[in-house]
């Protein structure tokens, strides 16, 4: 079952490449909006045109040119061959307990935050979570999932209209109907994020991640919004780490891209210190029991 | 002359006497009148009625794929006063038809005012196959429907004295024909008199005199209203005079419309169990599932006809009497010129259908008490009993019924099988309680606080502090796995080995104190995996693990799970503390909810009389354990049900993915079972309030009730499996060697591992079908849990 609305892919690619092709999508043209609201974070200079200025962290960040040169096939959410940012495979990074929301290590003072991106060149900032969930409703195998997806769709529209409380309330019914539906948790995260309750938002985004592991576009979207919550909560290092995870999953994710560009200076490089995700990762190499017969510890034995 | 003079003087004297005497009489009368006037004004201008609050259950969402029987739809419809009619005859709200042969069901939903919006009762057509909904459409628009909501059920009211339920209407909301019907039935000359109808009063007095009793009611509407407002039901001339005077006062002070408006809201119109139906809104709603404006002339006449004798003329119970009376009223209406002959004929031909009325209001008395207690912390009593709040809760009445039945039946079975458990003394009988909630939403779905509410209102879910016994064991295992996942020096996995042998824990200053837990029936299993130790609830192995992890870590984990700051005694690891079933449910819900804590709750919304939401519940959560840690524990607890002490659930036919834990205290005074499917968690406790020995394990005493409940309660829910969070892998392991199992390992067990921690090498002993016999290095065999559950 493909959980990704196929029509979204071209938009995501277009946004990712920021090449502003003069396309006129047929069925979705009415829903395309430039979602500047999501990017209206203090410090982000959306109006300054031109390519991102080089920054001290530019080695670890994708330059505008790199992104523009990405062939479409590579930028598609299915392909995870993006060379930057250099992160470990997320499944391993998620193998251990969730990092506390409030935790953020000592953050380096940014010497120069690069301009986010060229807003003028953005044709459409359409994200997977901003378009109708109807394809997902239609493809739902389980009736309970379909009903809870309908509620999620309704909540999505409510969040779009700023009716966050209504959305959160209805989503809690959806949780009751199908507690495993990750999209419901995702929109709970968005609802709380819009209400500026970032702790709750991140909690629900993290819950959504569990169920979205098989869907890179949505997983990337979830990380991106998580990053946005961290950023707004004043935790730029966590935010940068989340954006980076988002880009690893879904290189076309615009929120993550602009966010990461903006916060690259905060992103801890592997040499500088482990990111929260990396810190959680169990030291896989030395934990594989080579000879299980000896390896299983018998810690409780008192002899 | 003389005589005339004397007479004249006498007359003058008499006149003077009368004059002087009448002044105080008139004065007294004037004062009495003033007092009555004050009383009437005070009543009319003040708050006229105390409107009780109503407590509702949750609504029921119905959607394709659900089975109507599993969902208890027909019982729900009956409790909600829906009534079945023949196919094709569904014409008004509250009616449904179901043709089992064609599988076609048509349902006309009631209107309902939800906290956040009105629901205009729709017509729904369902196509069913073997009771399972295949599709749903709106037969009027032919549009397919995805779901519909069956309105919440009324659980109880909050009131003082008698439960007088009414919903106030303004006169403009009352159809003129309703007023006409009331006037025709009760007071023809309402607009012609000034409070008292002398013609009728004299006639009534004449009847009374002949019969030498006060029999005839000659009261006008105004008099009836005064009687209800101020006076008792006593029938005496004195009261009648006061009533008449008050009626005159009221008519002088207030308009006919004001009096009518009060009247239509005030009248008593029957009884639904404990709840009294007052006012025409409630009556229309209860008897005909309609708002006043939607009532037919026949229905209006029926209600108007009931005023004189609401219970004898109840159209649902006594349709023949009600029909006779209705037609009398209709005849009066015709005679008084309110309706035409044609309208009369039509209304008089309307059939009245008797139907069963469900009168159980306090469906979930322990739950209702719990809700009332919670509300009492936020609202003063006079608001709760007088302001007409509507309180919406999380309870599912069908699940509650299933739970009540499971608990009652299980206790009867236990007493039947173990006569020593039977107690004849009052308040001494064997008790049990059940709490069921959704871990992800926190909704409390069923709450049975004891065996019989009439016998004992003590709520064992929240008020009974008992030892959890082995139900507490997962805390130790969680502390151990947490150590692994957070990169601690020791590594514990479900497949880690531990010694199950007699063990003494030295503790205190200089290890001066010691504690030696015993295994159930002193049986020890030697070298076992942790998953086996928990599945079989081995005390020694668990204590040894706890000592290895460290008591502080176990206590810290207990605090995370909501058990508070426990004393630093080793015995706590085997549940040597006191907790409530609510606490156990809360702790297990964190495990069931992938490590996320959602507080269990009962009240979803409180709505004021004006329809505005005063408070609404908002889902919030806190990540207490990592999803990976929670998953490891879910896996461990699944083993308990699949082949450990909870295997009785499987042999009793419960097939869904489920996890749980038995609990029995050392002296067998408490028997627990706490367990969950991915979307429903239930805790059952069984024991004596007086803490006498029960002599049964959790598997014997509580698991049967848990299983019966869960089988029925989960039937209508989607069948889900537990989430495997990222970073966890499953692997089969040879339990004797710890190697990755080959296809030929005879006793291979499941294991879950953080990525990178699963064994890679295949078991060298079972590389082919003719490998070394398993008996050479066999695992200890689990005891037969059905015969003699270990705990």
HEC per residue, B433-500: EEEEECCCCCEEEEEECCCCCCCCCCCCCCCCCECCHHHHCHHHHHHHHHHHHCCCCCCCCCCCEEEE
Is the pLDDT at A46 greater than 60? The verdict is no
- For the record, the structure tokens of A12 come out as 């995501």
- Which of A3-12, A98-107, B436-445 is the least confident region? A98-107
| Half-sphere exposure in the Cβ direction for A89 (13 Å, CA) | 11
The confidence score (pLDDT) of residue B201 equals 75
Neighbours of A30 (CB within 10 A): 7
Which of A95, A102, A199, A283 should we substitute to test contact with B (largest number of B Cβ atoms within 10 Å)? A95
Residue bearing the bigger pLDDT, A80 or B190 = B190
Contact B152, B247 (CB under 8 A): no
CA gap B582, B559 in Å, rounded: 15
The confidence score (pLDDT) of residue A268 equals 65
The confidence score (pLDDT) of residue B356 equals 66
Is the pLDDT at A279 greater than 60? The verdict is no
Which of B605, B725, B760 should we substitute to test contact with A (largest number of A Cβ atoms within 10 Å)? B725
Among candidate residues B458, B465, B592, B538, the one with its CA nearest the CA of residue B790: B538
Is the pLDDT at B215 greater than 60? The verdict is no
The confidence score (pLDDT) of residue A272 equals 38
Q: For a pLDDT cut of 90, what percent of chain B falls above it?
A: 59
Residue B677 — very low, low, confident or very high, per pLDDT cuts 50/70/90? very high
Is the pLDDT at A277 greater than 80? The verdict is no
The confidence score (pLDDT) of residue B786 equals 42
Among candidate residues B35, B474, B457, the one with its CA nearest the CA of residue B230: B35
Three-state SS for B62? strand
Among candidate residues B554, B579, B559, the one with its CA nearest the CA of residue B624: B559
- For the record, the structure tokens of B466 come out as 């008992």
Residue holding tokens 């809690």?
A172
CA gap B123, B287 in Å, rounded: 20
CA gap B130, B120 in Å, rounded: 29
Is the pLDDT at B552 greater than 70? The verdict is yes
Is the pLDDT at B448 greater than 70? The verdict is yes
Is the pLDDT at A273 greater than 90? The verdict is no
Residue B217 — very low, low, confident or very high, per pLDDT cuts 50/70/90? low
Is the pLDDT at A26 greater than 50? The verdict is no
The confidence score (pLDDT) of residue B347 equals 92
CA gap A229, A189 in Å, rounded: 9
- Among B596, B619, B740, select the one facing A168 at the smallest CB separation: B619
Residue B208 — very low, low, confident or very high, per pLDDT cuts 50/70/90? low
Q: Which residues of B touch A148 (CB under 8 A)?
A: none
B132-157 mean pLDDT? 92
- B531-544 tens-digit pLDDT: 999 999 999 999 99
Instruction: Kindly give, in sequence order, each residue whose CB lies less than 8 Å from that of residue B781, ignoring residues fewer than 6 positions away.
Output: none
Residue bearing the bigger pLDDT, B295 or A56 = B295
Is the pLDDT at B182 greater than 70? The verdict is yes
First to last CA, chain A: 54
B721-739 mean pLDDT? 89
Is the pLDDT at A258 greater than 90? The verdict is no
Do B596 and A96 count as a contact with CB atoms less than 8 A apart? Answer: no
Kindly state the greatest CA–CA separation across chain A.
Answer: 76
The confidence score (pLDDT) of residue B767 equals 81
Neighbours of B190 (CB within 10 A): 19
Residue B233 — very low, low, confident or very high, per pLDDT cuts 50/70/90? low
Q: Please check whether residue B311 touches A, CB under 8 A.
A: no
Whole-number mean pLDDT of chain B? 89
Q: Which residues of A touch B485 (CB under 8 A)?
A: 96-97, 282
CA gap B609, B219 in Å, rounded: 32
How many Cβ pairs within 8 Å bridge chains A and B?
187
The distance of B756 to chain A (nearest Cα, Å) reads 5
| Half-sphere exposure in the Cβ direction for A137 (13 Å, CA) | 13
Is the pLDDT at B239 greater than 70? The verdict is yes
The helix-helix angle for A216-232 and A236-249 (nearest 10°) equals 170
The confidence score (pLDDT) of residue B296 equals 92
Residue B308 — very low, low, confident or very high, per pLDDT cuts 50/70/90? confident
Contact A155, A24 (CB under 8 A): no
- For the record, the structure tokens of B780 come out as 């200890």
Q: For a pLDDT cut of 70, what percent of chain B falls above it?
A: 94
Residue bearing the bigger pLDDT, A258 or B661 = B661
Helices (H) and strands (E) in chain B, counts: 23, 31
- B366-383 tens-digit pLDDT: 999 999 999 999 999 889
Is the pLDDT at A44 greater than 50? The verdict is no
Strand partners, B156: B55
| H runs (alpha helix) in A142-250 | 143-160, 164-177, 182-194, 198-212, 216-232, 236-249
Among candidate residues B595, B634, B636, B601, the one with its CA nearest the CA of residue B616: B601
Element (H, E) at B112: strand B112-114
Do B441 and A142 count as a contact with CB atoms less than 8 A apart? Answer: no
The confidence score (pLDDT) of residue B125 equals 96
Which of B60, B67, B440 should we substitute to test contact with A (largest number of A Cβ atoms within 10 Å)? B440
Instruction: Kindly give, in sequence order, each residue whose CB lies less than 8 Å from that of residue B274, ignoring residues fewer than 6 positions away.
Output: B157, B163, B359, B361, B362
Q: How far is residue A147 from each of residues A144, B152, B771, measured CA to CA in Å?
A: 5, 19, 52
Q: How far is residue B175 from each of residues B259, B305, B306, measured CA to CA in Å?
A: 16, 16, 18
The distance of A34 to chain B (nearest Cα, Å) reads 31
Among candidate residues B449, B461, B459, the one with its CA nearest the CA of residue B600: B461
- B62-71 tens-digit pLDDT: 999 999 999 9
Q: Please check whether residue A301 touches B, CB under 8 A.
A: yes
The confidence score (pLDDT) of residue B752 equals 93
For the complex shown, is ipTM > 0.90? no
Neighbours of B463 (CB within 10 A): 16
Whole-number mean pLDDT of chain A? 62
Is the pLDDT at B223 greater than 80? The verdict is yes
Residue A126 — very low, low, confident or very high, per pLDDT cuts 50/70/90? low
- Among A173, A207, A282, select the one facing B756 at the smallest CB separation: A282
B656-682 mean pLDDT? 94
CA gap B720, B789 in Å, rounded: 28
The confidence score (pLDDT) of residue B358 equals 62
Is the pLDDT at B132 greater than 90? The verdict is yes
- B629-638 tens-digit pLDDT: 999 999 999 9
Instruction: Kindly give, in sequence order, each residue whose CB lies less than 8 Å from that of residue B298, ignoring residues fewer than 6 positions away.
Output: B326, B330, B346, B347, B348, B350
CA gap B123, B139 in Å, rounded: 7
Q: For a pLDDT cut of 70, what percent of chain A falls above it?
A: 46
Three-state SS for B132? strand
Is the pLDDT at B782 greater than 80? The verdict is no
Contact B411, B432 (CB under 8 A): yes
The confidence score (pLDDT) of residue B30 equals 87
Do A98 and B623 count as a contact with CB atoms less than 8 A apart? Answer: yes
Neighbours of B648 (CB within 10 A): 22
Q: How far is residue A235 from each of residues A100, A105, A238, A276, B445, measured CA to CA in Å?
A: 12, 9, 6, 12, 39
Residue B237 — very low, low, confident or very high, per pLDDT cuts 50/70/90? confident
Is the pLDDT at B621 greater than 90? The verdict is yes
A174-186 mean pLDDT? 94
Which of A191, A300, A303 should we substitute to test contact with B (largest number of B Cβ atoms within 10 Å)? A300
Residue B1 — very low, low, confident or very high, per pLDDT cuts 50/70/90? low
Cβ-in-10-Å burial (0-12, 13-18, 19+) of A295 comes to middle
Contact B161, B373 (CB under 8 A): no
B258-286 mean pLDDT? 89
- Which of A81-95, A192-206, B258-272, B555-569 is the least confident region? A81-95
Is the pLDDT at B229 greater than 90? The verdict is no
Q: Which residues of B touch A297 (CB under 8 A)?
A: 490-492, 496-497
| H runs (alpha helix) in B494-598 | 530-535, 539-549, 551-560, 581-592
B447-470 mean pLDDT? 93
Torsion angle (degrees, nearest 10) of CA A36, A37, A42, A43: -20
B596-614 mean pLDDT? 95
Among candidate residues A2, A260, A247, A263, the one with its CA nearest the CA of residue A107: A263
- B385-421 tens-digit pLDDT: 888 999 999 999 999 999 999 999 999 999 999 999 9
The confidence score (pLDDT) of residue A240 equals 92
Cβ-in-10-Å burial (0-12, 13-18, 19+) of B368 comes to buried
The helix-helix angle for B551-560 and B474-485 (nearest 10°) equals 100
């Amino acid at each position: 079952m493909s959980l990704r609305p196929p029509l979204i892919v071209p938009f995501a690619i277009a946004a990712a490449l920021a090449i502003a092709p003069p396309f006129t999508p047929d069925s979705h043209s009415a829903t395309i909006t430039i979602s500047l609201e999501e990017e209206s974070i203090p410090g982000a200079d959306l109006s300054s045109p031109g390519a991102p200025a080089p920054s001290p962290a530019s080695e670890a960040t994708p330059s505008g040119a790199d992104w523009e040169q990405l062939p479409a096939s590579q930028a598609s959410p299915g392909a995870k061959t993006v060379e930057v940012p250099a992160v470990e495979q997320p499944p391993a990074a998620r193998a251990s307990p969730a990092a506390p929301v409030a935790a953020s290590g000592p953050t380096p003072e940014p010497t120069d935050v690069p301009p986010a991106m060229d807003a003028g060149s953005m044709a459409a900032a359409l994200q997977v979570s901003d378009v109708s969930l109807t394809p997902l409703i239609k493809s739902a195998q389980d009736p309970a999932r379909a009903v809870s997806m309908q509620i999620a769709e309704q909540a999505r529209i409510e969040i779009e209209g700023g009716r966050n409380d209504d959305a959160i309330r209805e989503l809690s019914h959806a949780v009751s109907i199908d507690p495993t539906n990750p999209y419901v948790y995702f929109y709970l995260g968005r609802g709380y994020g819009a209400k500026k309750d970032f702790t709750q938002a991140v909690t629900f985004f993290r819950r959504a991640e569990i169920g979205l592991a098989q869907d890179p576009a949505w997983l990337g979207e979830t990380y991106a919004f998580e990053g946005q919550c961290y950023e707004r909560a004043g935790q730029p290092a966590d935010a940068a780490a989340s954006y980076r995870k988002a880009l690893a999953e879904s290189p076309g994710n615009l929120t993550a891209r602009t966010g990461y560009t903006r916060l690259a200076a905060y992103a801890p490089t592997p040499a500088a210190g482990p990111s929260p995700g990396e810190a959680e990762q169990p030291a896989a190499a030395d934990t594989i029991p080579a000879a299980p017969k000896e390896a299983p510890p018998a810690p409780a034995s008192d002899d | 002359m003389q005589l005339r003079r004397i007479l004249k003087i006498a007359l003058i004297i008499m006149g003077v006497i009368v004059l002087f005497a009448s002044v105080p009489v008139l004065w007294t009368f004037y004062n009495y009148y003033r007092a009555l006037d004050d009383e009437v004004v005070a009543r009319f201008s003040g708050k006229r009625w105390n409107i009780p609050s109503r407590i509702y259950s949750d609504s029921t969402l119905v959607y394709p794929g659900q089975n109507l029987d599993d969902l208890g739809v027909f019982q729900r419809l009956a409790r909600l006063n829906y009534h079945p009619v023949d196919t094709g005859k569904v014409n008004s709200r509250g009616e449904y038809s179901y043709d089992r042969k064609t599988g076609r069901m048509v349902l006309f939903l009631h209107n309902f005012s939800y906290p956040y919006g009105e629901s205009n009762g729709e017509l729904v057509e369902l196509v069913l196959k073997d009771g399972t909904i295949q599709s749903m459409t709106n037969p009027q628009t032919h549009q397919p429907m995805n779901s519909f909501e069956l309105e919440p059920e009324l659980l109880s009211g909050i009131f003082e004295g008698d439960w007088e339920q009414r919903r106030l209407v303004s006169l403009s909301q009352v159809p003129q024909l309703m007023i006409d019907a009331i006037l025709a039935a009760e007071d023809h000359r309402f607009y012609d008199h000034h409070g008292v109808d002398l013609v009728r009063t004299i006639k009534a007095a004449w009847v009374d005199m002949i019969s030498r009793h006060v029999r005839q009611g000659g009261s006008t509407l105004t008099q009836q209203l005064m009687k209800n407002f101020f006076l008792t039901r006593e029938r005496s001339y004195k009261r009648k005079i006061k009533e008449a005077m008050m009626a005159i006062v009221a008519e002088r002070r207030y308009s006919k419309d004001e009096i009518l408006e009060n009247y239509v809201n005030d009248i008593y119109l029957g009884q639904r169990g404990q709840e009294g139906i007052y006012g025409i809104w409630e009556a229309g709603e209860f008897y005909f599932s309609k708002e006043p404006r939607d009532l037919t002339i026949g229905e209006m006449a029926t209600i108007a006809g009931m005023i004189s004798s609401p219970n004898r003329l109840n159209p649902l119970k006594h349709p023949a009497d009600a029909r006779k009376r209705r037609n009398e009223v209709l005849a009066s209406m015709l005679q008084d010129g309110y309706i035409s002959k044609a309208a009369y004929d039509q209304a008089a031909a309307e059939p009245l259908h008797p139907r069963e009325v469900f009168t159980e209001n306090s469906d979930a008395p322990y739950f209702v008490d719990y809700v009332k207690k919670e509300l009492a912390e936020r609202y003063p009593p006079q608001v709760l009993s007088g302001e007409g709040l509507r309180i919406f809760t999380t309870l599912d009445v069908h699940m509650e019924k299933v739970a009540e039945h499971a608990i009652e039946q299980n206790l009867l079975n236990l007493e039947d099988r173990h006569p020593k458990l039977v107690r004849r003394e009052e308040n001494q009988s064997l008790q049990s309680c059940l709490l069921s909630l959704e871990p992800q939403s926190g909704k409390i779905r069923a709450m049975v606080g004891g065996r019989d509410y009439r016998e004992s209102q003590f709520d064992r879910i929240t008020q009974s502090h008992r030892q959890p016994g082995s139900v507490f064991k997962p805390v130790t295992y969680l502390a151990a796995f947490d150590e692994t996942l957070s990169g601690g020096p020791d590594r514990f996995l479900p497949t880690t080995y531990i010694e199950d042998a007699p063990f003494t824990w030295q503790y205190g200053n200089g290890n001066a104190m010691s504690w030696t837990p015993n295994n159930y029936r002193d049986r020890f299993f030697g070298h076992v995996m942790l998953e086996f130790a928990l599945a079989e609830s081995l005390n020694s192995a668990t204590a040894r693990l706890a000592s290895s992890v460290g008591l502080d870590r176990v206590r810290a984990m207990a605090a995370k799970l909501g058990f508070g700051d426990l004393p630093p005694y080793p015995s706590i690891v085997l549940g040597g503390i006191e907790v409530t079933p609510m606490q156990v449910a809360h702790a297990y819900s964190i495990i069931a909810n992938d490590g996320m804590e959602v507080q269990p709750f009962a009240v979803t919304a409180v709505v004021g009389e004006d329809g505005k939401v005063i408070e609404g519940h908002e889902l919030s959560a806190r990540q207490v354990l990592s999803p990976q840690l929670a998953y490891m524990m879910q896996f461990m607890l699944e083993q308990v049900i699949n082949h450990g002490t909870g295997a009785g659930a499987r042999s009793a036919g419960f097939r869904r993915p489920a996890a749980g834990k038995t609990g029995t205290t050392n002296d067998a005074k408490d028997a627990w079972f706490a367990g969950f499917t991915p979307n429903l968690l239930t805790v059952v406790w069984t024991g004596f309030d007086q803490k006498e020995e029960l002599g049964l394990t959790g598997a014997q005493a509580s698991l049967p009730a848990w299983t019966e409940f869960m089988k029925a309660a989960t039937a209508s829910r989607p069948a889900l499996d537990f989430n495997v969070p990222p970073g966890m892998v499953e692997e089969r392991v040879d339990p004797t060697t710890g190697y990755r199992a080959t296809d030929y390992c005879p006793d291979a067990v499941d294991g879950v591992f953080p990525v990178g921690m699963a064994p890679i090498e295949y078991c060298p002993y079972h590389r082919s079908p003719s490998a070394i016999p398993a008996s050479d290095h066999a695992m200890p065999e689990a005891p037969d849990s059905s015969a003699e559950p270990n705990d």
